[in-house]
Amino acid sequence: FTLKCLQRLQCPHMDLCHVPATREKGWYLALMAPNVKGPNYAWLDPSRLYCHPQGLQDCVADLLQPFQGDAIDVVAGIDAMGFILGAAAAATLRKGFLAIRKAGHLCVQTVAQPYTDYSGREKVMEVRTDAISPGLRILLVDQWVETGGTMRAAIELVERLGGVVAAPLCVPTGVAAICMENSEGGKWIQERYKCSHCVPPRLQPRFDQHQ
């Protein structure tokens, strides 16, 4: 335990230069910040790792690794934090990016889907109708899948317009998130779609229990 490590713990600012000598999958998860504002907020803040250049690069690389060689036409990110990872993934793949928005923000023709988010709140998301044609192969990206309600609503939107968020026996695009919890909804998605996440198996139980 070096003096430099101690200084990093004592300092409220991130060390954006430090990179571990051995970068195992998921090393950047330690960059995430815990909730300090109470139960009305998510239990963990992944956006802190996006500030770290190597952390962000490795996170995106790990998310895309299972899809190497797969036919992907466009990457879709879910409002709002899915925009960050989704746009980064689209740029890496040299594909276009489609924003799936919370209702009321798009001034063009849309299709809407109600859903219940991880906090139990009823919401509506929508997507423009001119961006998805039948058979379009889509990689759906969000920051986190907790109860699965938000991601499932996005899947339903894409498939209603004829897009393909492919099941295992179909053209292999799918779903990517930093963490996919083993909740009922999370398992439903993982059983039906090709999925990618960044949490090593040994840490999955701790993420499922929000520890």
Domain that holds residue 184: 34-208
DSSP state letters, 83-97: HHHHHHHHHHHT-EE
| Inside any domain, residue 13 | no
Which strand (E) or helix (H) includes residue 171?
A: none
Residue with tokens 């799918």: 174
Task: Output the CA–CA distances (angstroms, integers) from residue 42 to 37, 68, 113, 196, in the order listed.
Answer: 9, 31, 23, 21
| Inside any domain, residue 70 | yes
* CA atoms in the 13 A half-sphere facing the CB of 21: 0
| Inside any domain, residue 1 | no
| Inside any domain, residue 8 | no
Cα–Cα distance between 40 and 152 in angstroms, integer? 22
CB atoms near residue 86 (< 10 Å): 27
User: Considering its fold, how many domains does the chain have in total?
Assistant: 1
Asked if 148 and 117 touch (Cβ cutoff 8 Å), the reply is no
Exposed/middle/buried for 84, CB within 10 Å: 0-12, 13-18, 19+?
middle
| Inside any domain, residue 14 | no
pTM confidence score: 0.90
Asked if 124 and 112 touch (Cβ cutoff 8 Å), the reply is yes
| Inside any domain, residue 9 | no
The pLDDT, as a whole number, for residue 136 is 93
| Inside any domain, residue 181 | yes
CB atoms near residue 113 (< 10 Å): 19
The pLDDT, as a whole number, for residue 40 is 87
Domain CATH for 97: 3.40.50.2020
- Across the chain, which has 211 residues, the per-10-residue mean pLDDT values are 47 78 95 93 93 97 94 95 97 98 96 94 96 94 97 96 71 84 96 95 96 91
Supply 17's token pair: 């230069």
The pLDDT, as a whole number, for residue 9 is 45
| Inside any domain, residue 122 | yes
Backbone angles phi, psi at 2, to 5 degrees: -85, 165
